[in-house]
Chains A and B, each alone.
Chain A
Amino acid sequence: MKILVCISHVPDTTSKINFTDNNETFDTNGVQFVINPYDEFCLTRAMWFKEKQGATVTVVNVGEANTEPTLRKALAIGADDAIRVNINPTDGFLVAKELAAIVKNGGYDLVLAGKESADYNGQMVPGMLASLSNFNFINGCVGLEIEGENITAVREIDGGNETVSSSLPIVIGGQKGIVEEKDLRIPNMRGIMMARKKPLNVLEATSSEAKTTTKSFEKPAPKGAVKLVDADNLDDLINLLHNEAKVI
């Protein structure tokens, strides 16, 4: 099995989000970047396939040179090699198209991606990639087993789970559950040393076909101060929720 894990490079969740250039550009000053949390779960699942079922694992990012430390981290966790497609990932379709070219040329049969990236929260790349590659697609995946060509997976649905079956080749949109948090791999010293010698190939983009553009960003309007209600006067709370907020 040839596995491709799609890694998006996102601000750590505690980062302060600010914008510059008239709110046109995300201000990366002082922001710590990490592997997108959902992608980390997928990468760990890929390592299990590698160790137990003899798969090879490539990680890929569509992005500029500043994302390389994130790819090195994925190599330190255990991926065999890395690919960076050198273009600013301004739009989900553009990213999916570049990834589809990698999938086709590399002959991958299992593509693991996160359900959602924590930056633009597009929730679009995995589905688009599956369609462009004409692969099967399971989203919101919280359990995955593959024997030969046959796939059994569990996906989250409203109020429960659905067990589905399918076959390779496939794109999986994964989340916590595909492995548990306690299973997540952290790079160790040996991994970090080895990662330095592993190949990180930089490819030029094949096209730059964006279908959307971000014109500007804005922050939510500042919230008014909290209204405190006395613990001994809960009628006030009920009154506020009923008459002011109109939510009960």
Chain B
Amino acid sequence: MSVLVFADSTDGKFKKTAFEVVSYGKKLAEQLSTNLVVLTINATDASQLFTYGAEKVLTVSNDTLATFNAKAYASVIKQAADASNANVVVVDSSINGLYVAPLVAVALNAGYASNVVAAPSNTSPFTVKRKAFSNKAFSNTVISTENKVVGVAKNSFGVHENSVEGTLENLEVTISEEDLGVKSEKIDKVTGKVTIADAEIVVSAGRGLKGPENWGMIEELADVLGAATACSKPVSDLGWRPHSEHVGQTGKPVASNLYIAIGISGAIQHLAGINASKVKVVINTDPEAPFFKAADYGIVGDAFEVVPKLIEKMKAFKAS
């Protein structure tokens, strides 16, 4: 018996979520009094995972897996689970993690709990807390099958260092033609920009900014903070900002450490998508704006006066 964690990488590099799921797997292995095995596919430096408690790392290098393919990756995870005699598999909640996990669950005939926010509250019966109803509630879910798949919500368990002397072991896998039924043709990525999914800090602005010409200060603030930029739905609907920046219930989910909302009223559909952020700051002229009820820190003020001053203060802070 063991716990298998899939630590995903893009172009060979791990994202923060990989370290988070390894931290989670370490804790889970302790709770279950078993050992932890971590699977990586085409990662450049798998030994980085030792820092987070990965005692044994299985490395797969295979050119057919160079770009993510859900079915082929699911097959590799299944082969790794079989090879390490694992009955609990842990994956992250990135776009790829959420894509592959249900396929792994079927392959292992396992019960699957997604969007899990904490280590199990009980291991027998195996009970985990999950996000539900668009972050408005949690459910305590029991996985009743022998094999289990746990999807860990981003930025929920956190990254915990726990250095071990780990070992790397190459795993040979077979991939069938049928696994490659969906082929990657082209990847279009904005490079050099922090993505909303990865960002520790997100600077977001709404209709209060009046027009697209006023986004210079938003981008500058984001730049100073190393943050991603985001916007409310009407802003992307109006074409002021690209759709890829739309966050909320019908847009991208945000689970950053810090979310700064500028000129956003705080409608329930907006909040539903950003609630998972740890700390929220609102800047709004209207003290009655609903966002003040959801935020940790608030400034009642005009964005056109506050934001330029905030940029100067942040620059000074960063330089100090």
Out of B102, B193, B293, which one reaches A128, CB within 8 Å? Answer: B102
Per the bound structure, the CA–CA distance linking A159 and B201 in Å amounts to: 15
Give the interface size class of chain A: 35 or more
A30 at the interface (CB under 8 A from B): no
Out of B112, B136, B294, B310, which one reaches A223, CB within 8 Å? Answer: B294
Contact B298 A211 (CB under 8 A): no
In the complex, chain B residues whose CB is within 8 Å of the CB of A28: none
Contact A158 B94 (CB under 8 A): yes
Q: Which of A85-126 contact B (CB under 8 A)?
A: 91-93, 96, 118-126
Out of A119, A220, A224, which one reaches B138, CB within 8 Å? Answer: A220
In the complex, chain A residues whose CB is within 8 Å of the CB of B184: 162-164
Instruction: Kindly specify which of A1-9, A66-74, A192-200, A237-245 makes contact with the partner chain.
Output: A237-245
| Residues 245-283 of chain B, each 1 if its beta carbon lies under 8 Å from chain A, else 0 | 000011100000110000000001100100100110110
In the complex, chain A residues whose CB is within 8 Å of the CB of B299: 228-231, 234, 237
The main secondary structure of chain A at its interface with chain B is mixed
Per the bound structure, the CA–CA distance linking A163 and B282 in Å amounts to: 37
Q: Which of B15-29 contact A (CB under 8 A)?
A: none
Chain A residue nearest to B260 in the complex (CB): A241
Out of A213, A226, A247, which one reaches B257, CB within 8 Å? Answer: A247
B319 at the interface (CB under 8 A from A): no
Contact A241 B297 (CB under 8 A): yes
Per the bound structure, the CA–CA distance linking A127 and B101 in Å amounts to: 8
For the complex formed, measure the closest distance between the CB of A240 and the CB atoms of chain B, giving whole angstroms. Answer: 6
Chain B residue nearest to A219 in the complex (CB): B137
Per the bound structure, the CA–CA distance linking A218 and B140 in Å amounts to: 8
Contact A137 B182 (CB under 8 A): yes
Out of A137, A162, A242, which one reaches B186, CB within 8 Å? Answer: A162
Contact A234 B112 (CB under 8 A): no
Chain B residue nearest to A231 in the complex (CB): B301
For the complex formed, measure the closest distance between the CB of B278 and the CB atoms of chain A, giving whole angstroms. Answer: 7
Instruction: Kindly specify which of A11-19, A44-52, A54-62, A76-84 makes contact with the partner chain.
Output: A11-19
Out of A159, A176, A245, A247, which one reaches B189, CB within 8 Å? Answer: A159
Could you pull out 23 A-B pairs where Cβ atoms are within 8 angstroms?
Answer: A13-B272, A121-B115, A123-B102, A127-B100, A139-B95, A139-B98, A157-B187, A158-B10, A158-B94, A158-B195, A159-B197, A211-B145, A212-B141, A215-B140, A217-B132, A217-B137, A218-B140, A220-B136, A231-B305, A234-B306, A234-B309, A237-B313, A248-B317
* A-B complex: 3 closest residue pairs judged by Cβ atoms: A127-B102, A211-B111, A231-B301
| Partner-B contacts on A (CB < 8 A) | 11, 13-14, 17, 19, 37, 91-93, 96, 118-128, 130-132, 136-140, 152, 156-167, 176-177, 181, 210-220, 223-224, 226-231, 234-235, 237-238, 240-242, 245, 247-248
With A217-B132, A242-B317 known, 4 other A-B pairs at CB within 8 A are: A119-B133, A140-B99, A245-B278, A248-B258
